[in-house]
Amino acid sequence: MTEAFEAGRVGALLERLVAFRTENPPGREFEAARFLGDLLGRRGFSIELQEVDGDGRANVVARLENGAGPAFAFCSHLDVVPAGSGWSTDPFRLVEKDRRYYGRGACDAKGAVAAMVEGMSLLASRRGDWSGTLIGVFVADEEVLATGARSYVARSPKIDYVVIGEPTDNQVASAHKGCLRPVVRIHGKEAHSGEPERGINAITLSSRFVGRVADLDADLRKRSHALVGNAALTVTRMNGGLADNVVPAHCDVVLDRRVLPSERMEDVRRDLQAFLAKAEVEIGFDADVLEYRSEAGPSETPENSPLVQKALAVCRANDVAADRPRGLTGGCDLVHFREICSDGIILGPGSLLVAHKPNEFVPISELNLACRLYQEIALAMYRR
């Protein structure tokens, strides 16, 4: 029997999802994954829970085979960034106010998960309208290392089209930036702070290095991409010092390099190494790259691809601005799915402007509309 869309059902599902404390780190998405698996299993999907890196981390994959046709996948993530402080309400209790749902993950990206699950359920109830395979992939660890998406893609599943759920104001995005995040350790020499001249202050050296980073960032911002904007290099963390009365022997500086779809990750890594080597000589210090905390490439689906064009048409039919696709300034899991699927887009309710912040919210109207958009985009691709 064909089911009808129910706004209250979507809100109730989002409420349950927000209540799962999947802050990353540590993530621990297993309980949320099992909950979704149980729900979709009752709606006719075959379910697989995939352990990811142990310690309570998992993907859930829901699959519904419905005759010959393309394999169409929805994917979003179960983890959220830490709640932090500054909230007006409990971040893990969904609050409805001013036609919005507030809570950690309401926008990024449990709202998309809830809308995708609703869309998949409605598609499952109208199997006579489409033919093919419908897949839902809800992954762990998107916010840090993308181990969930990487683990899923490593199994080489067959997927023809994928929609990644991230906050885009329900507009079609076909490109996103990549990220390279090295941790640079700058070495000095320890000494008693009463005789600082006997040491070499690693924090002072790091401050000079940060100035060079700002200069390079100004140059990088001259590089631009039509959909995602400028390349960038930002200092996001510094940590140094042993005690209040000790000249620090080392200081760690975390850099965040945002990479355009027109750039190659191997070139970016090589250029950063060359930049560091030059700074060592000019400033006069020794430094090492301790690790790369993130290394995820950019991605871009051609604007004339079937999925991009069909999704734009669906959005226009539902009064969502859609003359051409937009880009995502952050990273997401599309780049990993592009290893197995050439045609993918990013689309979801909410705005990146409120993601990763206190009092994160998703407009209820956008959440409800996303359910329809997801369903209609899938139907459009099954009917090609």
What are the pLDDT digits (tens) for 215-227? 999 999 999 999 9
pLDDT for position 53: 86
For the stretch 72-103, pLDDT in tens is 999 999 999 999 999 999 999 999 999 999 99
Mean pLDDT of the chain: 97
Q: Is 44 left (phi over 0), alpha (psi -120 to 50) or beta?
A: left
1 or 14, higher pLDDT: 14
Sequence-distant (6+) residues with CB within 8 A of 346 are: 163, 164, 165, 166, 168, 172, 173, 174, 176, 328, 332, 334
For the stretch 196-205, pLDDT in tens is 999 999 999 9
SS3 content of the chain, % helix, strand, coil (to 5): 35, 30, 40
pLDDT-derived band at 330, boundaries 50, 70, 90: very high
**In which element (H, E) is residue 215 found?**
helix 202-220
- Average pLDDT of span 39-56: 95
Pairing between β-strand 132-139 and β-strand 71-77 as defined by DSSP bridges: parallel
pLDDT-derived band at 384, boundaries 50, 70, 90: low
Given a cut of 70, is residue 1 above it in pLDDT? no
- Average pLDDT of span 22-38: 97
Class of residue 122 by CB neighbours under 10 A (exposed 0-12, middle 13-18, buried 19+): buried
Given a cut of 90, is residue 242 above it in pLDDT? yes
- Are 125 and 65 spatial neighbours (Cβ–Cβ below 8 Å)? no
Phi, psi angles (nearest 5°) of residue 328: -105, 125
For the stretch 298-311, pLDDT in tens is 999 999 999 999 99
Q: Hey, what are 331's tokens?
A: 């990273």
Domain 7-176+299-382 has CATH 3.40.630.10: yes
The CATH number of 185-296 is 3.30.70.360
Cite the residue boundaries of each domain of the chain with CATH code 3.30.70.360. 185-296
pLDDT-derived band at 151, boundaries 50, 70, 90: very high
What are the strands, taking DSSP E only, across the chain?
46-51, 58-66, 71-77, 95-97, 100-102, 132-139, 161-164, 173-176, 178-187, 191-192, 224-225, 229-230, 232-240, 246-247, 250-259, 286-296, 299-300, 326-328, 343-346, 361-363
pLDDT-derived band at 280, boundaries 50, 70, 90: very high
Given a cut of 80, is residue 70 above it in pLDDT? yes
Closest C-alpha among 137, 149, 138, 140 to residue 57: 140
Given a cut of 70, is residue 164 above it in pLDDT? yes
Q: What angle do CA 163, 167, 171 make, to 5 degrees?
A: 65
Angle between helices 202-220 and 265-279 (to 10 degrees): 140
As a dihedral over the C-alpha atoms of residue 163, residue 164, residue 169, residue 171, rounded to 10 degrees, the angle is -40
pLDDT-derived band at 289, boundaries 50, 70, 90: very high
Q: What angle do CA 275, 281, 286 make, to 5 degrees?
A: 90
Q: What angle do CA 56, 349, 154 make, to 5 degrees?
A: 40
Reported pTM: 0.94
pLDDT for position 7: 81
Cite the residue boundaries of each domain of the chain with CATH code 3.40.630.10. 7-176+299-382
For the stretch 101-144, pLDDT in tens is 999 999 999 999 999 999 999 999 999 999 999 999 999 999 99
User: How far is 82 from 102, CA to CA, in rounded Å?
Assistant: 15
